[in-house]
């Protein structure tokens, strides 16, 4: 997923969108977009992206030209086929690749759970870990809180909260 539709903007069918790309404006370079409807991906849309008041990203989707139809897409996720994304640089990960990985404490080897989501708190991303102890949040800061990520083995090693 590359972002989410926040809602309608204006009367002409434009959408306010949240981008999870870095930089945020890079979202404009991925065309067409697939939008979700519940758990299904339902439609590919050719789009134009610009900025509105306060730097808010706004999208105009081909064929979507009234506020009521635009409003119905609020909350939808934005995605493109994986093949359209560039290979990430060394040490850079797509969020979708981290979700589901097993998380272990670096020194003891204790299994903490699995990554259930990633959250952006502004300063950095947080790994949401679901396990026997419930929900834990661990800052995704390599070298500080995250010791290693091994996509092939399906595991992440983290420092215990006492160490970080």
Lowest mean per-residue pLDDT among 58-67, 132-141, 155-164: 155-164
Domain boundaries, the chain: 3-82, 95-158
Average pLDDT over residues 120-133: 87
Which CATH code for domain 3-82?
Answer: 2.40.30.60
DSSP 8-state symbol, 53: G
For tokens 């610009």, the residue is 50
Residue 164 pLDDT > 50, yes or no?
no
| C-alpha angle 98-80-2 in degrees, rounded to nearest 5 | 55
In the structure encoding, which two tokens stand for residue 136, read together? Answer: 């834990």
Q: CB-based burial of residue 129 (10 Å sphere; 0-12 exposed, 13-18 middle, 19+ buried)?
A: buried
Fold of 95-158: SH3 type barrels. (2.30.30)
Mean of per-residue pLDDT scores for the chain: 88
Determine what percent of the chain is predicted with pLDDT higher than 70.
97
What pLDDT, on a 0 to 100 scale, did the predictor assign at position 161?
A: 57
Strands of 30-89 (E only): list them: 33-37, 40-45, 47-51, 57-61, 77-79
Cross-strand bridge partners of residue 36: 41
Q: What confidence tens digit (pLDDT) does each residue in 91-110 have?
A: 888 888 899 999 999 999 99
Is residue 133 exposed (0-12), middle (13-18) or buried (19+ Cβ within 10 Å)?
exposed
- Are 19 and 27 spatial neighbours (Cβ–Cβ below 8 Å)? yes
Q: Among residues 54, 56, 64, 52, which one has the least CA distance to residue 24? A: 56
118 — pLDDT class (breaks 50, 70, 90)? confident
State whether residue 67 is helix, strand or coil. Answer: helix
Percent of the chain predicted with pLDDT > 90: 45
């Amino acid at each position: 997923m590359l972002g989410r539709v926040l809602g309608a903007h204006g009367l002409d069918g434009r959408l306010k969108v949240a981008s999870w790309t870095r930089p945020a404006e890079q979202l404009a370079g991925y065309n067409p977009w697939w939008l979700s409807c519940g758990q299904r991906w339902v439609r590919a849309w050719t789009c134009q992206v610009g900025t509105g008041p306060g730097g808010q990203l706004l999208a105009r989707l081909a064929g979507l030209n009234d506020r009521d139809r635009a409003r119905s897409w609020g909350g939808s996720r934005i995605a493109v086929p994986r093949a359209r994304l560039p290979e990430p640089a060394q040490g850079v990960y797509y969020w979708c690749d981290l979700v589901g990985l097993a998380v272990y404490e670096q020194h003891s080897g204790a299994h903490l759970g699995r990554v259930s989501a990633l959250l952006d708190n502004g300063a950095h991303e947080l790994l949401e870990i679901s396990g026997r102890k419930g929900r834990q949040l661990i800052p995704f800061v390599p070298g500080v809180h995250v010791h290693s990520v091994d996509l092939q083995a399906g595991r992440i090693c983290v420092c215990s909260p006492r160490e970080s």
